[in-house]
Structure 1
């Protein structure tokens, strides 16, 4: 069996943000642990955010499809992996791939959630740029098709 000290060293060495939240009531999921990578990712220190609801990371930006999926996962006690937009302490947005899993404590039935968070901002921005370029390409192709159709009609008229 792995000892608690080694487990703590491993979690602290992770490059991905790791949080543990405790289910409190119907809506609140209170942060009870964050690792150093989470602090680096968000700009918040553990002292600033422990014992707060995790939703502060979305600021006022809670109308995201991923958030509804996460809510349902928390309600059902399952697990999910979603990409959502969060905000750092300085207000800058970042895209976060959140892997969320439920942990039940058999002794007292308390439910906890562990979240592993990875900054995927670069990948999301690249995907958005590719989509933008594809849309521009489709527009150019439509314009070329229209020009070719016009040229074809002109040749018939000659």
Structure 2
């Protein structure tokens, strides 16, 4: 069996943010642990955010579809993986692939949530750029088809 010290070293060495939250009531998921990668990713220190609800990362940006899917999964005790927009301490947005799992402690019945966060901002921005380019290509193709049709009609008229 792995010892607690080795487990702590492994979690601290992870490049992904790892959080543990304690489920309190229907809405609150109170952070009780964050690893150093989470601190680097968000700009917050553990002292600033421990014992707060996790939702501060979305700032006022709470209308994201992924947040509803996460809430549904947590309410039913299911695991989930969603991409959502979070905000660093300095206010800059970043895209976060968040994997969540619930853990029930059988000895005291308390439920915990383990989250693994990966900053996927570069990937999301690349996909957004591809979508923009695809829209531009479709628009240019439509314009070209219109020009060809107009040109063909002009040749027929002459």
TM-score category, normalised to shorter length? over 0.9
Match of 1:39? 39
Q: Residue in 2 aligned with 1:126?
A: 126
Deviation string, structure 1 residues 5-64 (Cα, Å, up to 9, x no partner): 000000000000000000001110000000000000000000000000000000000000
**TM-score (norm: length of structure 2):** 0.99
* 2:66 aligned residue: 66
Match of 1:113 in 2: 113
- C-alpha distance in structure 1 between counterparts of 2:82 and 2:76, whole Å: 16
Structure 1 residue ranges, 4+ long, deviating more than 4 angstroms after superposition = none
Determine helix, strand or coil for the equivalent of 2:69: helix
Task: Report the equivalent of 2:103.
Answer: 103
Deviation at 1:94, TM superposition (A): 0.2
RMSD (Å) for aligned C-alpha atoms: 0.5
Aligned counterparts of 2:39 and 2:50: Cα–Cα separation in 1: 11
Structure 1 position 155, deviation (Å): 1.7
Gaps of 5+ in 1: none
Q: 1:109: Cα distance to partner?
A: 1.0
Question: Which 5+ residue runs of structure 2 have no aligned equivalent?
Answer: none
Is the aligned partner of 1:135 residue 2:135?
yes
Q: Number of residues paired by the alignment?
A: 158
**TM-score, normalised relative to structure 1:** 0.99
Matched, 1:30 2:30: yes
